[in-house]
Amino acid sequence: MFSSISNNKTTQCEQDFEIILQAALKSDMWAIKVIDAWGKPLPSGILKGNTFWVGNYDECLQPMYLPANKSFISQPFNTQHCVVSSKSSQSDPNSMPPIVLGICVPSSCDHQDVALLVQKLYKKTNITEDDIVCSNDPANGQQNLTAGAIATIIILSLLALLVLVGTSIDLLNDINAQLIGSNYLNESDSRTLSQDSPYISLKSKSYMIFLAEFSALRTLRRIFTMKQKNDDNSFLFINGIRVLSLCWVIIGHSLAFGLFYTSNIVDVLVWSHNILFQLIINAVFSVDTFFVLSGFLTAVLFVRHVEKEKKLSFRTMLLYYVHRYMRLTPAFLLMILVSINLTPYFGSGPVYPVKQGFESEGCRNEYWWTSILYVGNIVKPDSMCLGIAWYLHNDMQFHWIAPLSLIPFVLGRKILSFFIAVFFVFIGIGSILTILLYYPDMSLNVLLAFNNVPGPTFYKNIYITPWCRISAYAVGILTGYFVINTGRHYRINKYVKFFGTILMILFSLICIFTTYPDYILADGLNRTILVIYQSLSRTLWAIVIGWVLFLCSINQGGIVNKILSWPIWAPLSRLNYSCYLVHAVILNIILYNQKLPLYYQGHLIVNNFVSHIFFSYLASIVVAIFFETPFFIIEKKIFKR
């Protein structure tokens, strides 16, 4: 077969293929197994979007098992599974998705051999070596660990050592405390123990006390304690909002991430005809909830700190910026290091990206620095590291400019402060409106708006840009101002509360369900309606969340306040930042390791939602212990906080 493909001298790959063909003609089971592992062209479900003809990955790599005699069939050489992706038009979002074909070939075949084979068998002359990924391809593109992978492992090992030492010291101190407090020790025994015990000396050394702060046990106790301070300085209801909002984020990402590797994407489009499916499609509003919370807490904590210091000092402003950067950045950058350097080693499968992991080439080789400066959503967003980090970039950028409104407020110029915050709201609304009017052909359908196509898109030009997202953050700042001005014991008029709540419910329904006709009508909604909706919906949603924050802050949130303040939310809320950082990696690990494309079914979707949320929070415990807490402790030590 290969002799007709190339006039070159017969290669080992060609010889092995000849052995497979001859063995198959003799009905040798090992050869039939190799051929059976191939993806079959024209499988069922093409009209439902089944373009992943990946074959059987495990059947190709593993020896055939005979249940009758409980043994394996040996084969003369090893085989590898290769995936060939055809090219599709990136300029046309309505074009047919690329066909992904899986083939089982001898391990002696390289990418050039596989490309020649596909060109001959399928008459696809545009297939090149770059379109092929094989199971034998080395992770990160080389046989040994890359320098980046080694550096990442060293950094993680040092952090693990620090936590291990801290945990050991903490355990020794606990043992020592138990010995001293034992009823079996008399006074003289206690005196002798205090003089001779090696454990007592640990407590007398400040650096030992400091190292014990890194203890995994202390971190776990801090995370999972149910004790909460319920006073005028606490906002317990925020814990519930945080956790529920992040679960909404993960549910949205669980569906969206899986769409790239499914065999029935048309069924998902059919689900959009169910009005309740809008609750998943519009999970994008969960991010605006976080922006409102961030603006609210920034305003309240900034004013509270200035009142405590009784002045606005340079040190206050320095800590305002430094604390935020040091609080978020170390864990964020460590997750990026893991995603860039280690994720190629985290799995295998027909579509697992063993060459570059979960990050783009632009992130890995050129634009990683945008994450350090928090400008990845503005500078080359196509090369942004850790795709979900666009939120962190926006939040940090809002934090940078928030003092434009905060400083006048603490200096007594409250009207100016309110005006600036309202101006930020109108910047967000006006920016979205202007961009949509400037690009009249930009798709506004959520299921299409996030497609990675050349030119301006809703995602790159609106969804991740700070000038289009700032309105929610500004509403949060305004909400903080209202709570500060009214106080926590303000009694709102019952009619204002009732009609205000009804109006907020109406706003929330408008935000969630307005676009439903766009998914069921052949012509969709009128472009004008969609432009107005996109320009105002995020601000309206932010106002809804701001109303909830205001009522709960003045203890008039009723049953909503009680539910959101349940102690069970507190541990999960402490894990929220780590969970947000790690959840995308967890979802990608689960999805990319699938040996067959996902087939979306209602009950399986619910199962995926629950399992993805569970494993994301489980992984966040590790991130909190080793990535987040150590730097939080170091920052406290540096600034004596």
Q: 256-292 pLDDT, tens per residue?
A: 999 889 999 899 989 999 999 999 999 999 999 999 9
pLDDT band at 577 (very low <50, low <70, confident <90, very high): very high
- Which of 115-129, 196-210, 529-543 comes out lowest in average pLDDT? 196-210
| Residue located via tokens 């009005």 | 275
Q: Tokens at residue 327, please?
A: 């609080």
Fill in the DSSP letter of residue 388: G
Q: Kindly tell me if the per-residue pLDDT of 195 is higher than 50.
A: no
The two most distant CA atoms of the chain are separated, in Å, by 95
pLDDT of residue 192: 43
- Rounded to 5 degrees, φ, ψ at 127 are -80, 130
Q: How confident is the model over 428-442, as a mean pLDDT?
A: 94
Q: How far apart are CA 513 and CA 495, in angstroms?
A: 27
Q: Kindly tell me if the per-residue pLDDT of 202 is higher than 80.
A: no
pLDDT tens digits for 26-69? Answer: 888 999 999 999 998 878 888 888 889 999 999 999 999 888 88
pLDDT band at 99 (very low <50, low <70, confident <90, very high): confident
Q: Tokens at residue 122, please?
A: 């399928």
> Global pTM?
0.91
Distances (CA, A) of 625 to 200, 204, 632: 26, 26, 11
pLDDT tens digits for 383-425? Answer: 999 999 999 999 999 999 999 999 999 999 999 999 999 999 9
Q: Kindly tell me if the per-residue pLDDT of 249 is higher than 90.
A: yes
Task: For Cα atoms 484, 486, 492, give the angle at the middle one, nearest 5 degrees.
Answer: 140
User: Dihedral of CA 4/9/13/14: which sign?
Assistant: positive
More confident residue, 489 or 247: 247
CB 225 within 8 A of CB 265: no
pLDDT of residue 2: 45
Write the DSSP assignment of 124-139 as a string of letters.
-TT--GGGEEETTSPG
Q: How far apart are CA 306 and CA 551, in angstroms?
A: 25
pLDDT of residue 68: 86
Q: How confident is the model over 501-511, as a mean pLDDT?
A: 97
CB 392 within 8 A of CB 377: no
Instruction: Kindly list the domain boundaries of the chain, sorted by start residue.
Output: 2-137, 147-214, 237-639
Q: How far apart are CA 150 and CA 142, in angstroms?
A: 13
pLDDT band at 122 (very low <50, low <70, confident <90, very high): confident
Q: How far apart are CA 402 and CA 481, in angstroms?
A: 13
Contacts of 414 (CB under 8 A, 6+ apart): 408, 481, 485
Percent helix, percent strand, percent coil in the chain, to nearest 5: 65, 5, 30
pLDDT of residue 10: 78
CB 61 within 8 A of CB 80: yes
Q: How far apart are CA 415 and CA 418, in angstroms?
A: 5
Tell me the β-bridge partners of 82.
103, 134
CB 382 within 8 A of CB 627: no
